[in-house]
């Protein structure tokens, strides 16, 4: 990793009292170049108290923001980008799930891949490796495949895991995301937005684990809504003009 750069790890957290301590503990092995931001998305459990407690005990510099009401994953992640914009000292912003599904050691790989290839966004993909780690349900994998096929076809760039919430985003992308970001289920849409605006996007294989606590935001009848909403979002985005100019 290039020295002298500060990076921010954003942990969107909604009712993650069971997993948050464990997730932050895993991040403590990272070098001091990383700072952590927990965005408590209007949780109704003890997530806020645990996050405040972690600001005092974490080895890495850790901040906690409490959103007064639950706005959804998109709002929580965008708050992280907005925070990074206001602090004006971070280079990469890394989105990392608070539920303990992601591998902390892969953060360095994501950052290094961005630096090595000059990427604006690098996604941690579950489907590029040897198939290790936790496997999601068949229907979910089918949905992911469909979105990957949709984005790959209309963007002309191969993507394998557009729904992954484990990603490293460079300044050109996150400064735009701080201003405009999809509300709910933002990952595939924001990925397509990057490609459409000619930002460099890449993927590296990562291992994902079973969540340590909390519940997925895509449950009950949500998968159907998810697929329709995200597909519509991507297809409508296709009609927009380029918003980022070199």
Partner 1 sequence: MNAPTLMLVGGVVAFLVTIHWVRNRDMRERYAIGWLFMAAILLLCGLFPSVIMRWAHFAHLSYSSAVLVVSLTAIYCFSLFVSVALTHQYRRNVRLMQELAILSQRLERLHNAAKANPADEVVH
* Residues within the interface to partner 1 (CB under 8 A): 39, 63-69, 71, 75, 78-79, 82-83, 86, 183
Q: Checking DSSP bridges between strand 90-95 and strand 167-169, what pairing results, if any?
A: antiparallel
**In angstroms, what is the minimal distance from the CB of 65 to partner 1?**
5
**In angstroms, what is the minimal distance from the CB of 59 to partner 1?**
18
Q: Checking DSSP bridges between strand 34-41 and strand 121-125, what pairing results, if any?
A: unpaired
Say which DSSP state 241 is in: P
**In angstroms, what is the minimal distance from the CB of 112 to partner 1?**
29
Q: State which residue, 38 or 159, has the beta carbon closest to partner 1.
A: 38
CB 174 within 8 A of CB 96: no
**In angstroms, what is the minimal distance from the CB of 10 to partner 1?**
13
Query: Which pair of structure tokens corresponds to residue 218?
Result: 């895509």
Q: State which residue, 89 or 135, has the beta carbon closest to partner 1.
A: 89
Which DSSP helix (H) or strand (E) runs through 109? helix 106-117
Q: State which residue, 2 or 86, has the beta carbon closest to partner 1.
A: 86
Q: State which residue, 177 or 202, has the beta carbon closest to partner 1.
A: 177
Q: Is the dihedral of CA 190, 193, 199, 203 positive or negative?
A: positive
Q: How far apart are CA 236 and CA 233, in angstroms?
A: 5
Q: State which residue, 72 or 124, has the beta carbon closest to partner 1.
A: 72
Say which DSSP state 119 is in: -
Which residue(s) pair with 204 in the sheet?
124
CB 1 within 8 A of CB 31: yes
**In angstroms, what is the minimal distance from the CB of 78 to partner 1?**
7
Q: How far apart are CA 41 and CA 34, in angstroms?
A: 22
User: At 148, phi and psi to the nearest 5?
Assistant: -65, -40
Q: State which residue, 61 or 116, has the beta carbon closest to partner 1.
A: 61
Q: State which residue, 78 or 121, has the beta carbon closest to partner 1.
A: 78
Residue owning tokens 């009848």: 221
**In angstroms, what is the minimal distance from the CB of 64 to partner 1?**
7
**In angstroms, what is the minimal distance from the CB of 181 to partner 1?**
10
User: At 186, phi and psi to the nearest 5?
Assistant: -80, -15
């Amino acid at each position: 990793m290039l020295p002298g750069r500060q990076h921010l790890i954003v942990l969107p957290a909604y009712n993650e009292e069971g997993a948050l301590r464990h997730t932050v503990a895993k991040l403590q092995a990272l070098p001091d170049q990383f700072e952590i931001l927990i965005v408590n998305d209007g949780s109704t459990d003890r997530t806020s108290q645990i996050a405040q407690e972690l600001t005092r005990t974490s080895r890495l510099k850790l901040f906690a923001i409490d959103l007064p009401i639950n706005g959804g994953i998109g709002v929580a992640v965008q708050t992280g980008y907005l925070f990074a914009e206001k602090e004006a000292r971070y280079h990469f912003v890394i989105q990392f799930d608070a539920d303990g599904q992601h591998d902390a050691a892969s953060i360095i790989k994501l950052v290094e891949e961005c630096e090595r290839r000059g990427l604006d966004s690098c996604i941690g993909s579950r489907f590029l490796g040897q198939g290790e780690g936790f496997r999601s349900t068949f229907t979910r994998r089918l949905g992911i495949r469909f979105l990957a096929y949709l984005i790959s076809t209309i963007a002309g760039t191969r993507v394998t895991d557009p729904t992954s919430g484990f990603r490293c985003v460079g300044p050109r992308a996150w400064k735009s995301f701080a201003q405009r970001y999809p509300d709910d289920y933002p990952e595939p849409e924001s990925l397509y937005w990057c490609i459409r605006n000619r930002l460099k996007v890449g993927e590296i294989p990562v291992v994902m684990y079973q969540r340590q606590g909390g519940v997925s935001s895509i449950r009950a009848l949500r998968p159907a809504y998810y697929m329709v909403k995200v597909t519509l979002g991507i297809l409508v985005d296709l009609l927009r003009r380029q918003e980022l100019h070199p």
